[in-house]
Each structure stands twice: as structure tokens, then as C-alpha cells.
Amino acid sequence: MSQLLSVYSPFSNELLKEIPYNTDSDLEKALQTAYGLFQDRSQWMPAHQRIELLEKVQELMKGQVEELTKLAASEGGKPYQDSKVEVLRAINGVKIAAEEIGRLTGTQIPMGLTAASTNRLAWTMREPIGVVASISAFNHPLNLIVHQTITAFAAGCPVIVKPAGTTPLSCIRFLKILEEAGIPEGWVQGLILDNELAEKLATDPRVNYLSFIGSGKVGWYLKSKLAPGTRIALEHGGTAPVIVAEDCDVSELIGPLAKGGFYHAGQVCVSVQKVFAHENIARELAEGIAQAAEKLKVGDPLSEDTEVGPLILPKEVGRIDEWVQEAVSEGAELLTGGKVLANNCYAPTVLWNPSVDSKVSQEEIFGPVICIYPYQDRAQAIQQANAVPYHFQSAVFTQNLDIALDTMQKLDANAVMVNDHTAFRVDWMPFGGRDQSGEGMGGIPYSMHEMTRTKLLVFKSKYL
């Protein structure tokens, strides 16, 4: 008898569904199917067919926005209003992927530049890399699945996806939509796997590309186990530092920083976590964010006016509270929050000047907590922002172009936002961490490029 995965609402702890785990034989069958499709070029779909199918997927999704929104909110805890934005992003992501198919092109390579290269014509082309394995995370249960499956399919790769164990329902529904759209069997497969079989999927030699979104500990471990030649994209977290210059209008910063820090209860890999503000405005900014935090409606993610929902698991609520109380005991001032609420919720929290040695300063909190640090010297603030090994997205707020340019260059991050919060993202931009925050590049066009490889063609002829 198959073991069952129980999927619970993170808010009510209601059992939403029980799903059978896939077995070792299921995994082997999926790998054989995907590998067989890739090896048999007669089954490869031409670009126009992939575009047509993805257009059908978009239309089906457009007719199910409400259903998809409620499903994502119920299993993931992201408030209804933000889950609806996610669903609309996912639909647009399918559109971006379809459009990007026509941009997977090569270039002409000049010949005749030396005597040995005469009478030749050369150019590159891009081919699908092979079988893609995607292991996903809970915090965007639909949009991440789109990023990790539709990119592969659009690039011409068979893909096997393992959704997060806490949020598999959106993935299952999306796979049904792909089936309804007519995507041929085997090109996008979903499996419910335990950790042992997930590792077996990731490290199988038939897998050419692994897309992993989740904890750094697991991601770097899987990288160490990959079969030779398997490429990888790892997307982990960061501490999202923000530098605020003295010339800023504090009133204009409070809204964006509060949104960037408390969106999805801070369970986003680029959530605003550490704000380094000039000492002349830091306290005013901190108190303003604290006041904004106290006005946020925390509660049922299915309620249309909820702004902050629950944490994904009860243990995460306990961990975040432990970190906050530890920071207070080590000298931080609690301006607001710092308490466990009903239904796995945690009060949006603002900490004033935690110790640089506290966990909230050293590690990714992944919860609704913003830390404000006053500084005198911007260079020292940048140094402190760069001091941790996690470097993903960052931000600087200033009206001075020179300060913006100087800070942009000195912040160790893959992306720097100027006068916007760190959690800004659109799905066609490059997105990924560096150092311990990840490897490879996400963003739909960039993922598709990574899921292809270059082939060089050289023609020799006496007529050239």
C-alpha cells in the first residue's frame, strides 16, 4: 500500500488532501520516458507546435484564475490578493516562454581571418540540453512550477518536476492544465517524492540539468552528488540588505520597505530583512515601519483583505520567535511584533539595531521581521551588508546619483534596486544569487538559455 502525503492548510491546519507518494518504479518509468523522448529526435516538437501549445495553456489558465488563486492561497498561506498576482504572473510567464522560443538563436562565426580558415562558413545553433529535473519550493506554488517546467518544455527539453511537499496541489492542477492543452504525454511529468527519491532523481545520470529552489544546505549537497556533466541552477536565500542615504524622504520609504519585508510573511528569498539607514533618519524610519506593521491585517489567506498570512509550518513560527527573542536578549530593541499569533501567524516585527552577531543579522530570517541598523559612515554600512556569505538582491535609496552609483558598485549582489525594495521582480529579468545564495541564473529567458547548449556548424567548400 502506497504511503500518503498529507497536505494541510498552514492557517487552519485543515487536511486539504492526501496524495500517494510515487515509488521507485514510478521514478524509473518517468526517467525512462523523459530520456527516451530526448534520445528519439523524431519525437521532438518543432518550435511552432510548442508555441501553439503554450498559447492554449495560457487560455486555459485565464479561465481558471479564481480557482488557481484559492488553491495557491489555501495550501501555501500567501494572502488571496498576492496569490492572485502570482497566478497572473504565472500566466504571463507562459506567454514570455512562448515568445522566447523564437529568440533561442545562434550567431555567425567569422571565417577567413587566417589562411587556415578560408573556404569555410560557420555558425552556432542552440539545442535542448536534455532531460531536466526540477525540485521546487513552497512559497510560490504555481509561479515557480511555471519557471521550472514551462522553460524546459519551451526549450525543447522533457522535464520531471517534484513540487514542495507542503504545496503540491497547484502543481498537480497545472499539470492537468498542460494535459488539457494537449501537451504530449511524457514531456512534463510530475512526481510526489520523498527526500530519498528526490535525491535519486536529481543525481540520475540521465538528467542533464537540475533546477533546484530551496535550502542552501540541500542544494549544495545535491550539487556534490550530481552525475558528471549535469548542469545545475541553485536558488537559495539571502539577507536582502538595503542602504538608505540621509537625503531620503522617510515618508516615501515606509510603504515600499514594509511591503518588501512583510509580503508573504517574509517567506521570499529576497524579502527586505536588513535596513542600514543614516543615523539622522534611521529612528524615524524604524518607527514609521513599525507603525505600518501594526496596521497590517494578519490572518486568513483566503480573506481578500488579509495582508499577512501564516508561516508555512508551525516549527517555522517557533524558530522565528526564538531568533527574535534571542536578538532582544542580545541588545536589540523590539519596536513592534515579536509574538506568536493564532493559526501559525507571527506578528510583523521590527527590531532596532540588533547585534551583528545575532542570527537575525547573520542568517536569512524567512519570516516577517525587519531589522533597522543606524549608521554614520555609508562605507561601513556597505561593509556590514556584504559581511555575510549570502548575496542575492539588494537596494539603495537616495536622491544623489553619485551615491546611487557608488553603492551599486560596492554592494555584493546579483541585483541592486535603486529607490525600490529588494523583493522587486518581473519574470523576464535575470534572477539568482551568488556565493552561498545560489548558482546559475533564473528568469524565464535566462533559464531557457541555460536549458539549451551551443552546437557549432562549419561548412567547407571551394566556393566559399
Here the CATH number for the domain that contains residue 31 is 3.40.605.10
Do 245 and 383 lie in one domain? The reply is yes
371 DSSP β-pair partners: 274, 351
Indicate whether 431 belongs to any domain. Answer: no
Length of the chain as a residue count: 464
Low-confidence ranges of the chain (pLDDT < 50): none
Indicate whether 424 belongs to any domain. Answer: no
Do 231 and 362 lie in one domain? The reply is no
Catalytic residue set: 235, 269
Do 246 and 385 lie in one domain? The reply is yes
Q: How far apart are CA 67 and CA 174, in angstroms?
A: 11
Do 231 and 295 lie in one domain? The reply is no
Do 192 and 303 lie in one domain? The reply is no
CATH of the domain at 284: 3.40.309.10
Number of domain units in the chain: 2
The CB-side HSE value for 10 (13 A sphere, CA atoms) comes to 32
333 DSSP β-pair partners: 352
Contact 153, 50 (CB under 8 A): yes
Write the single-letter amino acid at 69.
T
Contact 351, 333 (CB under 8 A): yes
Position 357 scores a pLDDT of 95
Residue 45: phi and psi, rounded to 5, are -95, 135
Do 196 and 85 lie in one domain? The reply is yes
Do 218 and 329 lie in one domain? The reply is no
Range of the domain at 447: 4-236+437-459
Position 1 scores a pLDDT of 52
454 DSSP β-pair partners: 126
Do 251 and 388 lie in one domain? The reply is yes
Indicate whether 429 belongs to any domain. Answer: no
Q: Taking the model in full, what pTM does it have?
A: 0.95
Position 356 scores a pLDDT of 95
Question: What are the Cα distances from residue 16, in Å, to 19, 51, 59, 163, 282?
Answer: 10, 34, 27, 16, 44
Cell 481558471, residue located: 64
